[in-house]
Amino acid sequence: MLNETIRSKLSQVSTATLCTALFKAGLRNQYIQDVRPVQPKGKNMVGEAFTLRYIPAREDLNQLTVFQDPAHPQRKAVEDCPPGSVLVIDSRKDPRAASAGSILVSRLMVRGVAGIVTDGGLRDSPEIGTLAIPAYHNRPSAPTNLTLHQALDIDVPIGCGDVAVFPRDVIVGDDEGVVVIPAHLAAEIANAATEMTVFEDFVTEKVLEGRSILGLYPPTDPAVAKEFSQWRVANRR
Amino acid sequence: MLNETIRSKLSQVSTATLCTALFKAGLRNQYIQDVRPVQPKGKNMVGEAFTLRYIPAREDLNQLTVFQDPAHPQRKAVEDCPPGSVLVIDSRKDPRAASAGSILVSRLMVRGVAGIVTDGGLRDSPEIGTLAIPAYHNRPSAPTNLTLHQALDIDVPIGCGDVAVFPRDVIVGDDEGVVVIPAHLAAEIANAATEMTVFEDFVTEKVLEGRSILGLYPPTDPAVAKEFSQWRVANRR
Amino acid sequence: MLNETIRSKLSQVSTATLCTALFKAGLRNQYIQDVRPVQPKGKNMVGEAFTLRYIPAREDLNQLTVFQDPAHPQRKAVEDCPPGSVLVIDSRKDPRAASAGSILVSRLMVRGVAGIVTDGGLRDSPEIGTLAIPAYHNRPSAPTNLTLHQALDIDVPIGCGDVAVFPRDVIVGDDEGVVVIPAHLAAEIANAATEMTVFEDFVTEKVLEGRSILGLYPPTDPAVAKEFSQWRVANRR
Amino acid sequence: MLNETIRSKLSQVSTATLCTALFKAGLRNQYIQDVRPVQPKGKNMVGEAFTLRYIPAREDLNQLTVFQDPAHPQRKAVEDCPPGSVLVIDSRKDPRAASAGSILVSRLMVRGVAGIVTDGGLRDSPEIGTLAIPAYHNRPSAPTNLTLHQALDIDVPIGCGDVAVFPRDVIVGDDEGVVVIPAHLAAEIANAATEMTVFEDFVTEKVLEGRSILGLYPPTDPAVAKEFSQWRVANRR
Amino acid sequence: MLNETIRSKLSQVSTATLCTALFKAGLRNQYIQDVRPVQPKGKNMVGEAFTLRYIPAREDLNQLTVFQDPAHPQRKAVEDCPPGSVLVIDSRKDPRAASAGSILVSRLMVRGVAGIVTDGGLRDSPEIGTLAIPAYHNRPSAPTNLTLHQALDIDVPIGCGDVAVFPRDVIVGDDEGVVVIPAHLAAEIANAATEMTVFEDFVTEKVLEGRSILGLYPPTDPAVAKEFSQWRVANRR
Amino acid sequence: MLNETIRSKLSQVSTATLCTALFKAGLRNQYIQDVRPVQPKGKNMVGEAFTLRYIPAREDLNQLTVFQDPAHPQRKAVEDCPPGSVLVIDSRKDPRAASAGSILVSRLMVRGVAGIVTDGGLRDSPEIGTLAIPAYHNRPSAPTNLTLHQALDIDVPIGCGDVAVFPRDVIVGDDEGVVVIPAHLAAEIANAATEMTVFEDFVTEKVLEGRSILGLYPPTDPAVAKEFSQWRVANRR
């Protein structure tokens, strides 16, 4: 479960560091491919995955009237996604029609949802970029959702950008992209990434001072370990 | 429902003619894209869809031991797909690892299943090509399924080759490819395609005799209608 | 024809809303795929399409000397595109060489042309981004046009980003992308989109106030209709 | 112009040899990319290009009724393409719907047309494969043409598989693929390729006898020239 | 090293079984993607990798005269590739120009080379298909090699179809595709795959007799182990 | 060799103008395709190429421990790339895992390296964007390098974005993209591009004053040559 401690840690590490921590844990394929922020936010998105699955739209089942049904899965997902969670949409990597638009994303924002991710496209993307909720997609896409997508079910395991996403997996996004942390590893990965971040900050400082990376990164020179300990103390990390 | 009359009609028309009949019914996107027979069979595959959904494989969940579970969805699908049905697999259009191999396809054959379709790849494709069951895929793919795919659930609506496939939709394949007929339209489309096939056979005969297509195809020349009626009688069609 | 009333309306609606209006009119494929602004302008581009068609370049026909011919279609298009129109180029979705560069786009700007769209790339894109004319492309592309493209003819129907574009169709671009409105539907779509925009503004306001989308969007709750009427009066929309 | 001498020569050389002859003439991009025979024929297709241009289909303009118009460009192309010519279709490299089907290809065959080439797909491809006319496409595609394509004009310069094709260019296809020879170079290239083929046949014979390619191919060893002369005499080439 | 025992074993197992054995050894990415036999041969290609690396062609360095140099890496590779080895070419997955043609492949055949693999295309592919040497490529490609490729060096580690290939790795191809076995694992994988093949043959026999795969494949039913032992004895496997 | 005069000239011309100069010299393919600045810098990157070649990663050879080897080619490249040079990485156009991250790029910056280019992705891209060193890639990519790439060798000829890059070739990047100038042509191309830039500046000024491009660009009107001479004098160019 994503408690506040883990959430806080995950809000202060990068997706790059998380990918390395996951790689060490034997998971090489947790970065959602070819997805980017609608607008960089300068801070992390963190939340448990709440999923929405699309299949290709068949014309007779996807007239605009379908949205009149309060149980339509896209509408329902927007109302049901828990505050603090991230809505992750399987759009089959097809950005030729929108996965969602600004009104739905505004509703998610007002409801306290932590963010939205689709491996398709978002419409009204200029407006979405101005909202106080992080949003990730492949590219802007104005055509209405029903043109190519039928929202089918909610909170089932899905694929998104070639990554498996299970409900409750922990989703972290930064200005680079989005990573999926299996639920049972969230604490372990958060801790590992936090430790790695401290060391990377130390390394970056040394590199900017002119130090070679050899011996330092990774720290094969035994003196580095000692220097790092002292740096942690001095920097209260 | 796919009764024997409809099945018989659908076994005698081409996927091309079915696509035209579906186009007339307002459905433009029922042909599974970029999928081909492992081996042309010279006759049609016809059956109701029984579906299997894959998501991307996460390494820890997809060791070879998973197949020891008799409830593993891939194994279960192979044992549960009803005789006369077609197993349709959503492999997310990813043929880099196999959707299934010759042992499973042999089991489907022995069980009387009508065929198998994946928008990914099949392994042991040379052997599969020799089996008495039609099989359609994107391209041969030797890597084991677990490399990239996790079988997740059975008989839910899926996408396959950019087409929506609902359980019980009627699947027809010929040496060209595979088309998906919505269940409620099966009789209507089978009848329309049968009628169109009669006319196309008439047209083909006339074209091979040297007739221009103008006025004949489509039959804008009123004389063609009369000629066609006589041809039907003469040819008992 | 694109009169000032229609132009004004189209300058105040989004491409997303236009796509929905076109979808309602039975046109699902009017959004130019995978094209983006060189630089977001914060306001709409609106104009009738004036087209330019490229075919692949054959080396012997595409030496730099061809530009000495005042009748070269690319040069001619730049001088002939009417003020207020949008130059739309069929570059066969190939951005590996430029469709045009900053000098030509500057000339279009000075001539009062409303914008330029290509499904290929533009060169000198940093400079083009600073010009007071909207420009849309797939990605920056420095190689000279002749490397891969031969300008062939002007103001014929073309494809651009998988959309049919007929001369005089109305082209609308915003910071999301570009939509093509068939000429004969321009007034109808402009009106429909304007009405939809009023309603969407109302909905957005309510959503930001904390309202659920259920019953509101679409307005299945009868009370919403009344509330919207009052809102229109109050907001003079 | 493609006279019988040139046609005869071009029917006895490979597309590979023609590509090399064109490369020597400074033309590197005359091979139609990603197009293959529906069925290998074991002999060459040779003819002048007669072209047909498609643009993306807009739904309202592409109902099945359009084929009732005898001037519809697709139907007209099939009736007007001169005997001995090759119908080359610009399908924008989109095989998701058919460029043509077996009835039209049968009509072309009966009319004495030399072949058909599209960078899209053909429907009824199993039947087309049995016809006595060579046909080249990207892949089989059952959906009717109108689903994605609108035939727009006839016998204009086009792109096909990333190659420029001008009416009257000479098209040669073999079991490998299709090459486009600019009209004014047809004789020169036919002669060059014929000479090259004689030499390649000589080289192949020597290689199969166990000779190293060094010195032989290309013939940098002066003795090879003499040996080749003798071989030509002996083999009456 | 690839001795005759290993070679013999590898000639009797499928690439699919080899991929599973490699998967068990922790190697998930040894199948050369999107490469197929020019012509199915019905038997395996087995040999150590001898590599050839191409980079993109720069026009001034890649005139036809370069082949006059006996040290040109492509020509040299063809003369130097050891008998019994497989020539594996890194063509950067670009089949738009040929990696090699029939004369070079004939020379390889005469020299006793075990096969050729490229992730690009082969020219003269119809002739190559008739030669007594297995050849694998992405698709036929008539343009001469120099159009897009410059042969750069020989017998260095390369990528081919997204797989790392080191000189002396063992390459196995069947009618499905090509797999790369790291040199140090050749014996281990050959043995494992041989054992797996025996079991798969047993399973196939049982499945064709009507047995369910549950309990049998994998053999979770303890009775299967005993039955399999008896089958091995009875079938002398 | 890249002396200061050439470097200075190349820092003041655009990649678009350089591509035209290279086109005139017969080189049509020197623009690295589908690569963009991590962050536009508003000034040019200029330096000689120092190259790094990646092949696909095999899992057993690419554990995180490999970075402990001071001779690991990626680490070595970062320490050995000469100040003033550009590190160009052949990542096989695969951005699914990172080519490098912010610590390595920081080290390059501190060492005085002129820039970094990969046809894959960079991780920590938001940080890299803030560094005082230009960096070009396909897209951000958080997964660690070893996930898909094995650094193999240094300073050999490579392909990058479909362009041949030889060590010491001159690399120029601007806010549009990156061009590769063969070493022996650096002075010639720098001079030609400088001259062209003067003329283009003159043309741009005239176009912005309202002049037609006909006769001016290219300057087929003889009066333009005289006017341009006077402009050069007046503007001290």
How much is the pLDDT for A7?
Answer: 98
Closest Cβ opposite residue A164 in set B28, B150, B159: B150
Min Cα–Cα distance to chain A from B60, Å? 8
How much is the pLDDT for D18?
Answer: 98
Does residue B146 contact residue B62 with C-beta atoms inside 8 Å?
yes
The dihedral region occupied by F205, where left means phi > 0, alpha psi between -120 and 50, and beta the remainder, is: alpha
- Provide the chain B residues 46-75 that lie in CB contact (below 8 A) with chain E: 64, 67-68, 70, 75
Distance CA F119, CA F142 (A): 15
Query: Which residue type is seen at D7?
Result: R
Does residue D11 contact residue D44 with C-beta atoms inside 8 Å?
yes
Average pLDDT over every residue of D93-109: 98
Distance CA D17, CA C4 (A): 60
How much is the pLDDT for B61?
Answer: 97
Mean pLDDT, chain B, rounded, equals: 97
Which residue in the block uniquely carries the two structure tokens 């070879």? B64
Neighbours of B, requiring at least 3 CB pairs below 8 Å, are: A, D, E
Distance CA C100, CA C25 (A): 34
- Cβ-defined contact of D156 to C158 (cutoff 8 Å): no
Does residue C33 contact residue C161 with C-beta atoms inside 8 Å?
yes
Residue F68 pairs in a beta bridge with none
How much is the pLDDT for F173?
Answer: 98
Nearest CA in chain E to D138: E139
Distance CA F93, CA F89 (A): 10
**Intra-chain end-to-end CA distance of chain E, in Å:** 25
Is residue D1 pLDDT above 80, yes or no?
A: no
Q: Give burial (CB, 10 Å; 0-12/13-18/19+) of D235.
A: exposed
Average pLDDT over every residue of C106-130: 98
Is residue D59 pLDDT above 90, yes or no?
A: yes
Mean pLDDT, chain E, rounded, equals: 97
CA E203 distance to own-chain centroid: 26
C144 lies within 8 A of chain F by CB: yes
Query: Which residue type is seen at F139?
Result: R
* Backbone dihedral angles phi then psi of residue D85, each to the nearest 5 degrees: -90, 170
Report which of E109, E108, E137 is spatially closest to residue E123, judged by C-alpha positions: E137
**Those residues with Cβ within 8 angstroms of residue B125's Cβ, 6 or more apart along the chain or in another chain:** B38, B137, B140, B141, E175, E176
Min Cα–Cα distance to chain F from E150, Å? 9
- Cβ-defined contact of E141 to D40 (cutoff 8 Å): no
ipTM: 0.96
Residues of chain A with pLDDT under 70: none
How much is the pLDDT for F83?
Answer: 98
Residues of B in contact with D143 (CB under 8 A): 19, 23, 28, 31
Is residue C1 pLDDT above 90, yes or no?
A: no
H or E stretch including E230? helix E222-235
Mean pLDDT, chain F, rounded, equals: 97
**Intra-chain end-to-end CA distance of chain F, in Å:** 25
- Considering only CA atoms, give the Rg of chain D: 20
Residues of D in contact with B25 (CB under 8 A): none
Residue D163 pairs in a beta bridge with D160
Residues of B in contact with D124 (CB under 8 A): 14, 16, 176
Tens-digit pLDDT profile for residues F1-17: 799 999 999 999 999 99
Is residue B180 pLDDT above 90, yes or no?
A: yes
Report which of F116, B79, A179, D208 is spatially closest to residue E107, judged by C-alpha positions: D208
Tens-digit pLDDT profile for residues F167-211: 999 999 999 999 999 999 999 999 999 999 999 999 999 999 999
Supply the pTM of this predicted model: 0.98
The percent of residues in chain C predicted with pLDDT above 70, rounded, is 100
- Cβ-defined contact of E164 to F55 (cutoff 8 Å): yes
Is residue E1 pLDDT above 80, yes or no?
A: no
DSSP C175: S
Ordered by where they begin, the domains of chain E are 31-181 (3.50.30.40), 189-235 (no CATH)
Nearest CA in chain E to F164: E56
Tens-digit pLDDT profile for residues E7-49: 999 999 999 999 999 999 999 999 999 999 999 999 999 999 9
Size of interface B-D (CB pairs under 8 A): 79
B121 lies within 8 A of chain A by CB: no
How much is the pLDDT for F101?
Answer: 98
* Residue B135: how many other CB atoms lie within 10 Å: 26
B154 lies within 8 A of chain A by CB: no
How much is the pLDDT for A98?
Answer: 98
DSSP A67: G
Min Cα–Cα distance to chain F from A57, Å? 29
* Total residue length of chain D: 237
Do E and F touch (≥3 CB pairs < 8 Å)?
yes
